[in-house]
Amino acid sequence: MTKILAIETSCDETAAAVVQDGRQVLSNIVATQIEMHAKYGGVFPEMASRMHVETIVPVVREALEKASLTYDDLAAVAVTYGPGLPGSLLVGVNVAKGIALGRGLPLVGINHLEGHIYSHWLRVEGDGMAPDALQFPVLILIVSGGHTELILMRDHLQYEKLGATLDDASGEAYDKVARLLQLGYPGGPQIEKIAVEGNPHAFRFNKPKVDDEFAFSFSGIKTAVLRTVQSYGPIGPDGALSVRVPIPDLAASFQHSVIDQLVSKTVAAAERYGATAILLSGGVSANKMLRYVMKTKAPVPVYWPPLWLCTDNAAMIGAAAHFRFVAGQRAGWDLDIDPNLKLVE
């Protein structure tokens, strides 16, 4: 049995986990910084890296204690080395290298996006989880604060990028619109919550025209929401909105437009490439409306992880690391961060 200690510090979550055979989560510890960054309406990079420094050692220690293991029980140490915030990535990579070097363990570097994909291979409870034996090819929609990509997975560790956002990621658009509507941070859950009270057809935000069939674009929708808000009156210097602004209707219409684009392109890609299933990954995949609409319109089964695996965590890094490890892939001691790392060039 292969037990891997995994570390994830790509953004604002300090996480460590122990995963056995790429399937069983023996422990998964996450120290979140959401409350601190909420004051700024988004992640404050320098503060995020400082918090990682303060919390990484106790988080790793707790992950081992929860798994009832010591370093001697591990087969390898895995760590996210990109993409992400440079200062945050540095903390995780340096700690992982120190542990691996000090304990004589192999080091495995993992792409954060690959971690989101392999969250579907963990055997955990959840009504949307994929079955044990997924048949390839599968189509993955990665939707998060920094990424919106359609990936065709033909086999383990084999990916083909079909499309990506040309500007804002979907989660980034959620955060920016939530900030505009003064709903708080993170924007996704806030917009989803208030959208229930609104009419998704109150405002029509047209689909962007892009040359690539499977490319996404959310910047225009975000700007359209801003122009609509401004039509009700000037925005105050402190971001104050006119009392006439119908915030629930705007939130619902914005969400409807984003989900419509995500679903229509994903469904078209699944049909084009003969995917056996659609896997939703990343923070935005926690959106209940996205799940419902995708499942309703998709020609194949749709799966998603439980909430704690949608957001950043180390268990998914451990799952991906297992498949890299058994394939004989190891990182050298010169492993460095890559803030702009691509899953597929």
Selection from 8, 263, 14, 279 nearest residue 122 by Cα: 279
* The pLDDT of residue 98 is above 70: yes
pLDDT at site 37: 56
Selection from 206, 173, 167 nearest residue 188 by Cα: 173
- Whether the Cβ atoms of residue 269 and residue 279 lie closer than 8 Å to each other: no
Residue 216, Cα to own-chain centre: how many angstroms? Answer: 16
Instruction: Pick the range with the lowest mean pLDDT from 96-105, 230-239, 298-307.
Output: 230-239
AA letter at 339? P
Phi and psi at residue 6, to the nearest 5°:
-120, 140
User: What pLDDT digit, counting tens, does each position of 197-209 carry?
Assistant: 999 999 999 888 8
pLDDT at site 136: 97
Residues 184, 238: Cα–Cα separation, whole Å: 14
Q: Which domains, and CATH codes, for the chain? A: 3-127+308-326 (3.30.420.40), 138-304 (3.30.420.40)
Selection from 312, 305, 336 nearest residue 107 by Cα: 336
Q: What's the pLDDT band for 133 if we cut at 50, 70, 90?
A: confident
pLDDT at site 118: 97
| More confidently predicted of 47 and 280 | 280
* The pLDDT of residue 296 is above 70: yes
pLDDT at site 185: 82
Both tokens of 321, joined, read 């690391």
* The pLDDT of residue 33 is above 80: no
Selection from 13, 102, 94, 105 nearest residue 59 by Cα: 13
pLDDT at site 48: 76
* The pLDDT of residue 123 is above 60: yes
User: What pLDDT digit, counting tens, does each position of 174-187 carry?
Assistant: 999 999 999 988 89
* Mean pLDDT of all residues belonging to the chain: 93
User: What pLDDT digit, counting tens, does each position of 37-87 carry?
Assistant: 565 566 657 777 888 899 999 999 999 999 999 999 999 999 999 999 999
- Residues near 48 by beta carbon (within 8 Å), at least 6 away in sequence: 11, 12, 33, 37, 85, 87, 88
Helices (DSSP H) in 181-314: which residue ranges? 187-195, 219-230, 247-273, 288-297, 307-310
